[in-house]
Structure 1
């Protein structure tokens, strides 16, 4: 897994005008291809009267899925420059749809490439991005008498408690960078006099 990736901070639309043509770039996070396609379909329905609705998306922290479409623009002048802008900015798990309303002035191949790629770049600047970092899922189980104190100690140590489960004992779900797992085990043993049970799980991504 990649140590980190960037994605769009939120869904939104940014509009630019170039030689009387309107370019509306819709950016949205997308965890799967199905989510990306759903955004594309929604934008196409909303702008069914537009001249073109071109798109590009990147799914996977390692950019394993990449798709782009020109939607009637000359081949390679719309979807590909949009995709290249996403990749150049290290954007993952995101979809971009650029809607064009033709204004009567032809831009030429070079102008189209700059317009479509630039629309995505400007939208990323306007809407913002966020970094997601890889971490190890883990759980800590203690007796009820220690649970409250341990939660306070974890927060004081800068750890985020993702969930709390109450049963015969209390289990706290947390996330740790891989490099800190061993040090955390030692800290936990000291903090609970060796009474806590620690279990490391799989990996996930979270906000930096």
Structure 2
């Protein structure tokens, strides 16, 4: 079971005159994550290091940003993995205070900055969803919309042509039962427009 974050959270810890500011936020993938890292670099132009870790399926990665190898990005990534997080970016901005912490001290500092930020963050289960598209006669638009609402589906694009076409997403595990219920409710007049596409 994987989780993501409802909203961004941050932390700030001081260790031997160095300041570590931790940020955690939900992201869709690497491009969004790198844009967030770039934003934090602009926001903290005098920081010595802006290290990050990303868990987002095939987009995962980590950066020590000039810290000794393996002392920042990887420990941060391990915190995310330990908490079963997915589609989450962790960034730690460091202002160096002049006292070296050593490899062990750096690992603890970066780990703690992320862990402290995650303590402030509300987590939510990441549910696999699927998108379905269907067309119905105008008379059945209302009943189908009610069925979508009853099943907690999220309505997307709706077009009105010869028939009403609508796309909607719902939890992947609920899709087979929903298809069956929709077919019954529409008395065979519903046309499925394409195959389901899975997403997280």
Distance in 2 separating the partners of 1:127 and 1:109 = 28
2:143 aligns with: 149
The alignment partner of 1:152 has SS state of helix
1:175 to 169, 177, 187: 169
The alpha carbon displacement at 1:113 in A equals 0.9
Deviation string 1:12-47 (CA, Å, 9 cap, x unpaired) is: 432222333221112233323222222222222222
Query: What are the ranges of 5 or more consecutive residues in structure 1 without an aligned counterpart?
Result: none
1:41 to 38, 41, 50: 38
1:19 to 13, 16, 22: 16
Distance in 2 separating the partners of 1:178 and 1:130 = 17
The TM-score with structure 1 as length reference comes to 0.82
CA RMSD in angstroms comes to 2.3
Q: Does residue 184 in structure 1 map to residue 181 in structure 2?
A: no
1:202 aligns with: 197
Q: Structure 1 pair 78/157, CA: closer, same or farther in 2 (3 Å)?
A: closer
The TM-score with structure 2 as length reference comes to 0.85
The alignment partner of 2:67 has SS state of coil
The alignment partner of 2:86 has SS state of coil
Distance in 2 separating the partners of 1:185 and 1:66 = 34
Query: What are the ranges of 5 or more consecutive residues in structure 2 without an aligned counterpart?
Result: none
Q: Given that residues 9 and 120 in structure 2 are in contact (C-alpha distance below 8 angstroms), is that contact kept between their aligned partners in structure 1?
A: no
Distance in 2 separating the partners of 1:19 and 1:142 = 67
2:56 aligns with: 59
Distance in 1 separating the partners of 2:117 and 2:126 = 19
Q: Does residue 69 in structure 1 map to residue 66 in structure 2?
A: no
Q: Does residue 10 in structure 1 map to residue 7 in structure 2?
A: yes
The alpha carbon displacement at 1:110 in A equals 1.9
Distance in 2 separating the partners of 1:179 and 1:97 = 34
Q: Given that residues 9 and 118 in structure 2 are in contact (C-alpha distance below 8 angstroms), is that contact kept between their aligned partners in structure 1?
A: no
2:112 to 111, 118, 122: 118
Distance in 2 separating the partners of 1:52 and 1:104 = 13
